[in-house]
Structure 1
């Protein structure tokens, strides 16, 4: 049995709590949250004073924003325990030196009220010694089918790649929704296209999956599209069109 304390009950922390609660071999001893709600007030395992955190857990997981990792982990009133964070962009060293440091990074986008299947989520782990790395690997394997040992340097590059395929793509969804809303068209008309585009990546490389006017050099369609866009939308359109065209040129050389 691996015992866990979760520091933070936001998007990531709340999902970790749910999956550990429902996974044989793990037990959540406590959850620290500064904002108690109806959901947490009557559960004695939830505490709002970090000094009330038990020193008896195997792993302490700081599921908090990057700029608060050191502050939160430095307030723990014990030493020589395994304290990890869940950030993709923060280095191992962001955790306080008061305890043994590690990383337990689930590579997924989390929204608090949207369920996810952890079995398909890669868990990226890092630790200062082999024993702690083994513990984190075993903890990850209880909830996921894919656990990877990745250094802070590798993880930072993985995280920026994740921003491109997740956050930036979602912003493009937002732009598309704005365009359709003005015309009183339903954004869900694009849902099958969005799903097919994502599904293609499972069996095609991004280069082979790319289609559209920029890929085929259709200047007439590109000019027509630009006339339909706001100044800000046109800037994004031109930037991405140029990126696709430059990539095509380099591939042809």
Structure 2
């Protein structure tokens, strides 16, 4: 099986490395910035190409792993490609690739950073395709990387991506806000790491609502008021604190 990777960002980098580790041949890498493509290509014994016109016509699949707004533009340049074309986005409809004969989605549900190594083995890989043959092809490829391959349509994938934003992106932003509060008061973020680790561990064994703690779930109004007073000089944080506390109260 021959794979072409379109993109050299976080997802493309991890995907290309995972394919390489699974003995799947990555033949080419294209990136808007050739040097970035070359760096990734060198890591997986592939060739970096400067123009999509040089795409390997004998490749079995072309994986588009670029920012969402650029997928349509890339897809228009690949309509003559005879193999499977799939994008890796969580929020973009599969039909954006409808100009091709065989197309689909190959979405890894995980947060990726280039310099943070991780194993694909347990990452859910969500697949979708415009026909059964392409679906089976994508499943076969996905099974080489992960033990958790899920068939899911575009509408449900969008909901999954939305939930992932709450669970990952928003949670990480709250870490950043916590760091802001600590730094402003000469405290180190490192002291929160054991708490963060334990909080994340709990939801591996139980549903989040069952393990909710804190002053809002206890209706501890005195503590809530004290916290709000501490945030009077930071109106944006105060607003966030009040909105989230009210949301937690409503889950009781």
TM over 0.5: yes
Aligned residues: 246
**2: CA distance between counterparts of 1:187 and 1:99?**
51
Deviation at 1:79, TM superposition (A): 3.9
Provide the residue aligned with 1:147 in structure 2. 149
CA contact (8 A) 1:51 1:77 kept: no
Provide the residue aligned with 1:91 in structure 2. 93
Query: Which sections of structure 1, spanning at least 5 residues, go unmatched?
Result: 249-253
Runs of 4+ in 1 over 6 A off after TM superposition: none
Provide the residue aligned with 1:176 in structure 2. 178
Pick from 238, 244, 247: which aligns with 1:234? 238
Query: Per-residue CA shift, 1:5-46, capped at 9, x if unaligned?
Result: 11011111111111111113x110111112122771795611
**2: CA distance between counterparts of 1:128 and 1:98?**
10
Provide the residue aligned with 1:224 in structure 2. 226
Provide the residue aligned with 1:7 in structure 2. 6
Deviation at 1:138, TM superposition (A): 0.9
Query: Per-residue CA shift, 1:161-207, capped at 9, x if unaligned?
Result: 00000110011001000000011111011001101101101111111
Provide the residue aligned with 1:113 in structure 2. 115
Deviation at 1:69, TM superposition (A): 0.6
Superposed CA RMSD in Å reads 1.5
Deviation at 1:96, TM superposition (A): 4.7
Pick from 234, 246, 251: which aligns with 1:247? 251
Query: Per-residue CA shift, 1:94-138, capped at 9, x if unaligned?
Result: 225134220000000111111121111000000011111111111
2:251 is paired with a residue whose SS is helix
1:120 is paired with a residue whose SS is coil
CA contact (8 A) 1:74 1:96 kept: no
Provide the residue aligned with 2:26 in structure 1. 28
Provide the residue aligned with 1:166 in structure 2. 168
CA contact (8 A) 2:6 2:64 kept: yes
CA contact (8 A) 1:105 1:125 kept: yes
